[in-house]
Amino acid sequence: MIQLVAFLGNYGREYEKTRHNTAWQFADSLPFYSRLNFSTKFQGQIASLDYSDFVNLASNEYPELSKKGEGPNIPKNAPSKIFFLKPETYMNLSGQSIGEVCNFYKIKPEEVLVVHDELEMNPGFFSLKFSGGLAGHNGLRSTKAVLNTPDFFRLRFGIGKPANVNIADYVLSNFSKDEAITMSLVYEKAGLCLAKTLLASDPSRLTQQWGKVNVNA
């Protein structure tokens, strides 16, 4: 089961609304975000929720998770806590922060969910996957290097990859007004995906259902 959710982004107000900070924007949109008490540690901002508290919050915010008026069951292999991390190492060194958390709390790579932007998908799409390539993403490259494996879960948000544009400049640019509206719809749908993933005793079973979701479909 997932014990650590790491939202990749760049620290600083100038980066808040950029495409590369999609994961942080998603974190801010989560209905339970205000219940997370972040503190500075492990080269980032980290918060935790008791698993039972997360179950209660998720069932209240996402009625789809409840069955016949009852909340979701707590799996037998559920962790005692779920940790939420915003590395502040800047994107290219994200793995350093993730690695420190994993080492301290004895979290395995397959118990990590990394949330990040994805050039290979357009705005309006998101995807849950396990392992695989890095698609040139420096935050993922850093995470793989520190964990010594690509075998961790990823929740990917499409930001598009226009032709004849400098990629470094593009990912550090802001979403257009229309794109921002689309992304708000993506975040809402992806919030349910995240909740289901954190409640799943075997998250890999969800990768087909949430393998590539188009909120405009």
Which residues form the catalytic set? 20
The per-residue DSSP string of the chain comes to: ---EEEE----SGGGTTBGGGHHHHHHHH-TTGGG---EEETTEEEEEEEHHHHHHHHHHH-GGG-BTTBPPPPPTT--SEEEEEEE-S-GGGHHHHHHHHHHHHT--GGGEEEEEEETTS-TTEEEEEES---TT-HHHHHHHHHHTSS-SEEEEEE----TTS-HHHHHTSBPPHHHHHHHHHHHHHHHHHHHHHHH-SSGGGGTTTTSSEETT-
